[in-house]
Structure 1
Amino acid sequence: MYKVLFLLLLLPCLAAAQQPVVPRDTSFTVHSTYLKVKPNYPFVEKVKPVLPAGVSTKTDIPYSTIGNRNLHLDIFYPTSKSRNAYPGVLLIHGGGWRSGNKSHQVPMAQQLAANGYVAVAVEYRLSLEAPYPAAMHDVKAAVRWMRANAATYGLDTTKIAALGCSSGGQMAALLGTTNGNSRLEGTGGNNSRSSAVQAIVDIDGILAFKHPESKEGEMAGWWLGGSYEENPGNWEEASALTHAGKNTGPTLFINSMHPHYHAGRDEMIQKLSKHKIYTEVHTIPDTPHPFWLLHPWFEPTFQYTLNFLNKTFRKIES
């Protein structure tokens, strides 16, 4: 009996030991952002997760396995059942493709769920672990997981948006402009499902890596397998502007006052307008770059997002 009990206690430890050691860059956090911003904006406060009433959550759900590496997501969804399924949002954190984690997107996911959305904050492989296009394979696998598990969470599989911040915004835009691109699908699970998304929310993420307004350098190079001169193909392919066209969904851009974080935005709007695809732009004045992580800027960021998603998926005019 004691041997059986011992083995049962040991099994979780053995499972954890089998997980690979993943290199981490922990330099980009909510707290480090707060400390950096506060000297110039003494009124700021950190945005903290608070689970609203009527919202259920499940955390650290494995959604994809790469070798012996499990990738996880957190899901937030309305507790009450609805006769109509809820639209979904995949939330992709920022951190220069090298740092950050899914917890950064939890407050936004919680508030979206409180307003009738199935919201998923996703972990993906960062540049210290795997270069491009691994992260894109991961987020597309996460969309497929959402569709495969739609019945459990009351998700409408025809209405899924990709939302991202900074480098996550770049990824959300690339995800939304490459619907059906087989190179970026990967083999992360549920491959019989579609990874297409029907809308994009890009929060201060660039649309083109090689662009007069872009200042991307070493951070992008770590992810894209070298500098532009060393690997121009990846720099072009990873730019949403390269792919934007008739298969792109309605797109919302929310920007700080720094123009280099929306490099390629105006050209992308022009491309989408030729196909009569709706776009919306909001620039929040006098804002540092990771404004969405801090009060008082979280609230307008969320409200712009909710209004856009309601207009896109529920035909509610803001």
Structure 2
Amino acid sequence: MINFKSVFSHCCLTLFVAFAANAQVQVPRDTSFTLYGTYIKEKKYRPYIRIAEPELKTGVLVKKDLVYSDLNGRKLLVDVYCPQNRKQKYPGVVLIFGGGWRSGDKSQMEAMGRVLAAKGYVAFAPEYRLSLEAIYPAAVYDLKQAVRWMRLHHKEFNLDVSKIASLGTSAGGQLAALLGTTNHDERFEADDSSSGASSAIQAIVDIDGTLAFHHPESVEGKAASWWFGGDYQQKPELWEDAAPLNHVDKNTAPILFVNSSLPRFHAGRDDMVAKLDSLQIYSQVKEFPDTPHPFWFFHPWFDPMMETVVDFLDKQFK
């Protein structure tokens, strides 16, 4: 086991490029992974696909760009989608976007947020520091802070603090799984996490996120190297410790694996299911045949995927 606080203090690659008048730090952005760009790319091979854009249902409240963390002027923002009915408490879901730990943004989770809020969940879509700004484990620190913030602000959103799931896509799926396999592990908490609120996760939804970086089924390369600040030969301890597969224990939350038909994006899944089975922790696998990696953005897969997700969450929380 390694001391992440020591690693992080020595390896953080934070790149501050300018300060705005409001003291918000402007950071470099990689815009290579966008919803529209992905649509154009995938439509060449599957001309029938359509971007999933569910309507904002009556009774759903949206609050965007709320500040959940301030890191010396670097404000981390979150979008919240929640039921307006305040007569009951609702389970929560933290929505974690993908993009190779380097690109992507929280707006890419809006379609899921709208559906979940309409189904009786409070959905939180936070941003987190990507590899151009800060290497691993900064993103993990940020997302655990987001979960604590959710619990601290539970009254504002009628959140049931005992029922919070992590859901992520691609790199976000890996992070969602890591959040739920490191419950109560202080090594994954930042030094400023003494708020009294827990970052523990009670259910996981991993949508095409790897479970292991150095594994016979894994082909993670450049994107992972950027995130870890080196390849496996240079940073083997980080490659191993970032793998959710390596952290499965009695505190791991039940998990739903939702996968495309591309095996590289669920590397380590079968090994993880075996570990979960040995601990009698519930897991479920749903694989969509003949699908591209970013299938979650598009019809005809979005609706059945969300039905699977909501059914799993309902079984865990309702």
Q: CA deviation at 1:82?
A: 2.7
Distance 1:263 1:168 in 2: 15
Does 2:288 correspond to 1:284?
A: yes
1:215 to 215, 219, 244: 219
* Structure 2 SS opposite 1:280: strand
2:209 to 179, 201, 205: 205
* Structure 1 SS opposite 2:61: strand
Q: CA deviation at 1:47?
A: 2.1
Does 2:43 correspond to 1:70?
A: no
1:126 to 118, 126, 130: 130
* Structure 2 SS opposite 1:88: strand
Per-residue CA deviation, residues 61-86 of structure 1 (Å, 9 max, x unaligned), is 00001111000000111001233x10
Which residue pairs with 1:254 in the alignment?
258
Listed as ranges, the matches of 1:40-79 within 5 Å are: 40-48=45-53, 50-79=55-84
Counterpart contact for 1:162–1:172, Cα < 8 Å: yes
Per-residue CA deviation, residues 98-151 of structure 1 (Å, 9 max, x unaligned), is 000000101101110000001001100000000000000000000000000001
Which residue pairs with 2:6 in the alignment?
none
Q: CA deviation at 1:190?
A: 6.2
Distance 1:269 1:16 in 2: 50
* Structure 2 SS opposite 1:292: helix
* Structure 1 SS opposite 2:76: strand
Per-residue CA deviation, residues 187-242 of structure 1 (Å, 9 max, x unaligned), is 45663210000000000000000011111001001001210100000001000001
Which residue pairs with 1:9 in the alignment?
none
Which residue pairs with 1:10 in the alignment?
none
Report the structure number with the largest CA radius of gyration.
1
Q: Which amino acid aligns with 1:63?
A: Y
Distance 1:82 1:39 in 2: 47
Which residue pairs with 1:30 in the alignment?
35
* Structure 2 SS opposite 1:18: coil
Per-residue CA deviation, residues 134-173 of structure 1 (Å, 9 max, x unaligned), is 0000000000000000011110000000000000000000
Q: Which amino acid aligns with 1:282?
A: K
Counterpart contact for 1:141–1:190, Cα < 8 Å: no
Which residue pairs with 1:39 in the alignment?
44
Does 2:86 correspond to 1:81?
A: yes
* Structure 1 SS opposite 2:25: coil
Does 2:107 correspond to 1:103?
A: yes
Per-residue CA deviation, residues 239-260 of structure 1 (Å, 9 max, x unaligned), is 0001012101110000000001
Q: CA deviation at 1:29?
A: 0.6
Structure 1: gaps (5+ residues): 1-13
Distance 1:205 1:40 in 2: 22
Q: TM-score, normalized by length of structure 1?
A: 0.92
Q: CA deviation at 1:57?
A: 1.3
Q: Which amino acid aligns with 1:52?
A: K
Q: Compared with structure 1, are the counterparts of its residues 107 and 190 closer, same or farther at alpha carbon in structure 2 (3 Å cutoff)? A: farther
Distance 1:102 1:133 in 2: 19
Which residue pairs with 1:240 in the alignment?
244
For these two proteins, the number of residue pairs brought into alignment is 300
- What do you get for the CA RMSD once the two structures are aligned? 1.3
Counterpart contact for 2:25–2:75, Cα < 8 Å: no
2:297 to 293, 296, 301: 293
Q: Compared with structure 1, are the counterparts of its residues 189 and 182 closer, same or farther at alpha carbon in structure 2 (3 Å cutoff)? A: closer
Counterpart contact for 2:20–2:26, Cα < 8 Å: no
Counterpart contact for 2:245–2:268, Cα < 8 Å: yes
Distance 2:191 2:74 in 1: 13
Q: Compared with structure 1, are the counterparts of its residues 188 and 101 closer, same or farther at alpha carbon in structure 2 (3 Å cutoff)? A: farther
